[in-house]
A = this chain, B = another copy of it.
Amino acid sequence: MRPLRWGMIGGGEGAFIGAVHRMAARVDGRYQLVAGVFSSDAEKTKRSALALNVDPARAYPSVEAMIAAEKARPDGVEVVSVVTPNHMHYPQSAAFLEAGIDVICDKPLTTNTPDADKLVKLAAEKKRLLGVTFNYTGYPMIRHAKQLIADGLIGQLRVVQAEYPQGWLATLLEKTGQKQAGWRTDPKQAGAGALGDIGSHSFQLVEFVTGEKVSEVAADVSALVPGRVIDDNVNVLLRFASGARGSLWASQVAIGHLNSHRLRVYGENGSILWFQERPEELTVIEAGQAPQLVRRGDPGTPTSSVALPGGHPEGFIEAFSQLYTDFAERVTARLESRSPKAASLFAPDAATGARVMAFIEAVLKSGQANSAWTRI
């Protein structure tokens, strides 16, 4: 199977998430990195190309230059990953879609809902993929949870408790020159703080796993570290269209937590619990029975694209890689004029990206209205 000709926008020297995308694509094995704009700094782009074994001639100074040159080649890029700062996601994704090139965009899709809606429309018009890497949907046990719920295991949904606490911003790290802290706490670059960075993941997983829509939110949005100018702790009450209730907590000041992303879903007949720091396990409870600790590899659980035997831990990269597998399948299916395999549709795309933007905006609005219930 010929690998897809792949480009990267962003992801040069020292970039965290760019390196993750690359490892994910490599584990999958269906992508060959052949071109890119690895940095806004042309020199850095050249150096990155060298380090990444990419032909320096295909390391471009700008998206426009890249599109022009690559469209002119018979072996031009087929798909690009956009891993630049959040505010660049919209124009860059739009440019590639306009050029008929499939796009994999890091989350968040944009910095506001109108832009997100435009991208949804554009991807549909151009019939191109606009995948968004809400990576937790790549975990096999998350997909298993979604399937069990879709199959009716827990019956009518009643309560959802979602949370994503971290502790790394418990001090004013952004004042120390730390790069990750810097842009993530800058309202201009990041839009929202804990809410956008991690609350977004939590919300996305809630709707992904339950298959239900949150209809309104009541939120207490706080900057708890003195001197911080963006939210670092968000407590949100949730109401679902179906009448279910819940809450969502995202925090970057919860000392001791690394990425303690947790989802607990309760229905009339059972419950499902998941915790990102032990992503290979799912606690499944059917009413009237003892809890089951279902592990990847136990009977009935799905196989990941990496396909390790159960008990050989798969983690963050493998889940990320699953999305790349899914995106490759969808791009390839189009190139081959066939339907993609159903499982590949689990991977989130522009509609999900737009939905998450709407959530973020509703939470911020509720926060400004002293936690009044606000529709998404």
* Chain B min CB distance to A153 (Å): 11
Interface membership of A330, Cβ < 8 A: no
Contact at A316–B316, with CB atoms within 8 Å?
no
1/0 per residue, CB under 8 A from B, across A286-326: the answer is 01111111110111000000111111111111100000000
A266 touches B253 (CB 8 A): yes
State how many angstroms separate the Cβ of A336 from the closest Cβ of chain B. 16
- A1 partner residues in chain B, CB cutoff 8 A: 51, 53
A277 to B220, CA, bound (A): 30
Chain B residue at smallest Cβ distance from A180:
B309
Is A218 located at the chain interface by the 8 A CB criterion? yes
**Which residues in B have their C-beta under 8 angstroms from that of A312?**
258-259, 315-316
Give chain B residues whose Cβ lies under 8 Å from the Cβ of A246: 235
Q: What range describes how many residues of A lie at the interface?
A: 35 or more
At the interface, yes or no: A43 with Cβ under 8 Å from chain B?
A: no
A294 to B291, CA, bound (A): 7
A87 to chain B, nearest CB (A): 23
- Residues of the B chain whose Cβ atoms lie less than 8 Å from the Cβ of A315: 308, 312-315, 318
From residue A328, how far is it (CB to closest CB) to chain B in Å?
14
Interface pick from A18-26, A59-67, A113-121, A181-189? A18-26
Contacts A23-B306, A258-B310, A289-B299; A158 near B51 (Cβ below 8 A): no
In the bound assembly, the distance between CA atoms of A318 and B321 in angstroms comes to 13
User: A130 vs B59: C-alpha distance in the bound complex, in angstroms?
Assistant: 37
Which residues on B sit within 8 Å (CB–CB) of A371? 218, 237, 371, 373
Q: Does A247 contact B (CB under 8 A)?
A: yes
A269 at interface (Cβ–Cβ under 8 A)? yes
Closest Cβ neighbor of A166 among chain B residues: B311
- Give which listed residue, B167, B245, B258, contacts A224 with CB less than 8 A: B245
- 20 A-B contact pairs sorted by A residue (CB < 8 Å): A19-B307, A167-B285, A218-B218, A224-B244, A235-B245, A253-B266, A255-B266, A255-B267, A256-B273, A258-B295, A258-B309, A259-B312, A276-B313, A278-B313, A283-B293, A288-B299, A290-B298, A291-B295, A315-B318, A317-B318
Instruction: Supply 18 further A-B pairs (C-beta < 8 A) apart from A218-B218, A308-B317.
Output: A19-B307, A167-B287, A218-B220, A224-B245, A235-B246, A237-B237, A254-B266, A255-B266, A255-B269, A256-B270, A257-B271, A259-B311, A276-B311, A279-B313, A284-B290, A290-B299, A291-B293, A293-B293
